[in-house]
Structure 1
């Protein structure tokens, strides 16, 4: 009997490790989606830079999170023997891999907002600092109970802040950090002609669409595998993700008036918003969350294109920042049992937790980008920007420069 129990325990542990490993690989693959979404949106002379940024940001994020960020968030380091690290089929190592792909999504999100005029190495430095300190600070508060914030919320409102898969922790923080970076950089050259603000059209809709498809597929690993174990897996999370995704598509189709750029960002808006409450909402509630997120993105991105204050190339602030905030708040609405949800959430707690996430991102972003900008200029020169990041940074001229 003892041998049977031991075998079952080993099987369960190895299954959990494999389950989380598949999730980590799926979220890792999403970074290709970030890359192609940016490649399809920026002008031809900046496409190579978009690809290089995403993969190098991932590498820098991995190292920063391995040595500092994961320690800050979960009080765990890897300075022990390989035999100790490999215990329980290496589940703890795979957990790091999974959560690291979340952390690396922060610079990938920011990358889309700062495209076409940001210097390469200064923003790599900023990415390292953000993933090492800013992101894990808030991640640890929400997902590890650090500093007593969740306990305080629970005693004050009755429930802790609920963010199952990172609407606020990942996407919201990334989007509001991007807003700060975009503010520091200012408008791209050529956006104003004859005292009129013009928009640059996406350079490659097929690449943009490919990026969206990769992200949509990987997102089911992002959300479902956030359970982090086989016994926590829920078909409800998958169904809610699906319904929010199609809700975002339909809203963007209508509000965006058949524009392919809006249509392919619509599902991402819905998926961003559903992350927080995907484990507690009813599928019909998730559909409404996605519909509203799609409308938010189209409306705000259109407004951004008409202002001279911000030049958010991919619209990452409305997509990740605002839709992420909406997702955090929506979990406190559509997660309530009175609206068909599973309950266990508080609107007040969701509102406070979301606001704190935004504050951490804005303050952290102001400190990081402010310091980096003082140490070294974060904006390319006018000549470098004119020639494009591909030629100016990577010494590769594009086939078709604009």
Structure 2
């Protein structure tokens, strides 16, 4: 009888492992697909002469990110490596390998975010070098602190405030870090030629609204893999995360529609702003709290992007700092507000800790970005020549245009 029980237990355990592995693999595939969303969002926003470069950058960045995270970043964050035989690596149905794939798609979002900010005037290979170091060192440093308890920061939060920093799916860990690194890169690169004429700012209109919309749709759909499947096991899956993601997305759409006065660029970035902000507290908030969080994020994006484009010399092409940097930071703080049981949340969060953790993420991103992009800028330069920028990155870098004019 005991043998039969043992066999049943073994079969159940195998089924559970297989199910969790498949679950996480599907999540990894959904988040991987989001990179197509990043690509088409950029393609639709930049001018025609830079569309090929937008597509190539995102794919090349993913390849470099895979190498950087495989050989360095995953070890920095989790102390694990893949230098063992295939039989050992494939134990437990290869769950740990799929987990790496899933977390890699998060890590690779960092250069995909940066790409949108530095579009239309960045050199190709220096940016890939920056990708290697941001994904291999800067991002996993903060990732490991928050999601693996490295350096005792989370333990200090818990001993001092009773709870750790809560970021369920990466409002700060992924989006905040990516957005603030992007701000540093954007400042190093400076404004695109022709943006200021006769002392006045000139905005370049998006080249292709359908492509921009396609990118936003792909990202929005894939985000449910990003958020819901951050549970990483079937047992941990929560319908609350899905509902809160939906409501935050809706809040971002409506708020950006109103604040942006029906501008299609704002409306299609609105859901992304809401989804960025809800990542951190999606497993804690009441859906109404998620709706408010998303609406505030959508409004923040519209007004900050407008201000940057018209009043400053920070030329953030896709508005990735407002979208990911600011809305990501807001999401980290919002988890400490709307996650409170007094506001319908599940509790177990501290607003003080959420603010401190968010500031820590911003600090690491800015300092890391300054070191990486500053060093590369000093050694080789980050920006295309004036002639190459005028001709467009497509012809200057890739020797081909997005359309055949013959």
Relative to the length of structure 2, the TM-score reads: 0.98
1:38 deviation in Å? 0.1
Matched with 2:147 is 143
Equivalent of residue 9 in structure 2, options 5, 10, 22:
5
1:282 pairs with 2:286:
yes
Task: Tell me the distance in 2 between the aligned counterparts of 1:393 and 1:304.
Answer: 28
Task: Tell me the distance in 1 between the aligned counterparts of 2:203 and 2:312.
Answer: 11
1:231 deviation in Å? 0.5
> Where do residues 260-271 of structure 1 align in structure 2 (5 Å cutoff)?
260-271=264-275
Task: Tell me the distance in 1 between the aligned counterparts of 2:389 and 2:326.
Answer: 29
Task: Tell me the distance in 2 between the aligned counterparts of 1:383 and 1:228.
Answer: 48
Q: Deviation per CA, 1:69-113: give whole Å up to 9, x if none.
A: 000000000000100000000000000000000000000000000
Equivalent of residue 388 in structure 1, options 388, 392, 397:
392
1:104 pairs with 2:79:
no
CA contact under 8 A between 1:187 and 1:308: conserved in structure 2? no
1:119 pairs with 2:119:
no
Matched with 1:306 is 310
- Structure 1 stretches lacking a partner, 5+ long: none
Matched with 1:378 is 382
CA contact under 8 A between 1:109 and 1:174: conserved in structure 2? yes
Task: Tell me the distance in 2 between the aligned counterparts of 1:325 and 1:157.
Answer: 20
1:367 pairs with 2:367:
no
1:49 deviation in Å? 0.1
Equivalent of residue 70 in structure 1, options 69, 74, 79:
74
Q: Secondary structure at the match of 1:288?
A: helix
1:343 pairs with 2:347:
yes
Q: Secondary structure at the match of 2:108?
A: helix
Q: Secondary structure at the match of 1:163?
A: coil
CA contact under 8 A between 1:45 and 1:400: conserved in structure 2? no
Q: Deviation per CA, 1:300-320: give whole Å up to 9, x if none.
A: 000011134200000000000
1:400 deviation in Å? 8.5
Runs (4 or more) in structure 1 with deviation over 6 Å come to: none
Q: Deviation per CA, 1:192-236: give whole Å up to 9, x if none.
A: 112211100000000000000000000000000000001000000
Task: Tell me the distance in 2 between the aligned counterparts of 1:221 and 1:146.
Answer: 26
1:231 pairs with 2:235:
yes
Task: Tell me the distance in 1 between the aligned counterparts of 2:160 and 2:142.
Answer: 20
> Where do residues 181-196 of structure 1 align in structure 2 (5 Å cutoff)?
181-196=185-200
CA contact under 8 A between 2:220 and 2:271: conserved in structure 1? yes
Task: Tell me the distance in 2 between the aligned counterparts of 1:134 and 1:122.
Answer: 17
Across the two proteins, how many residue pairs are aligned to each other? 401
Q: Deviation per CA, 1:51-79: give whole Å up to 9, x if none.
A: 00000000000000000000000000000
- Over the residues paired in the alignment, what is the CA RMSD in angstroms? 0.8
Q: Secondary structure at the match of 1:202?
A: coil
Task: Tell me the distance in 1 between the aligned counterparts of 2:391 and 2:311.
Answer: 25
Task: Tell me the distance in 2 between the aligned counterparts of 1:245 and 1:15.
Answer: 29
CA contact under 8 A between 2:277 and 2:330: conserved in structure 1? yes
Q: Deviation per CA, 1:18-57: give whole Å up to 9, x if none.
A: 0000000000000000000000000000000000000000
Equivalent of residue 399 in structure 1, options 387, 396, 403:
403
CA contact under 8 A between 1:391 and 1:398: conserved in structure 2? no
Task: Tell me the distance in 2 between the aligned counterparts of 1:99 and 1:297.
Answer: 26
1:374 deviation in Å? 1.1
CA contact under 8 A between 2:52 and 2:401: conserved in structure 1? no
1:398 deviation in Å? 4.1
Equivalent of residue 197 in structure 1, options 176, 195, 201:
201
Q: Deviation per CA, 1:325-357: give whole Å up to 9, x if none.
A: 000000000000000000010000000000000
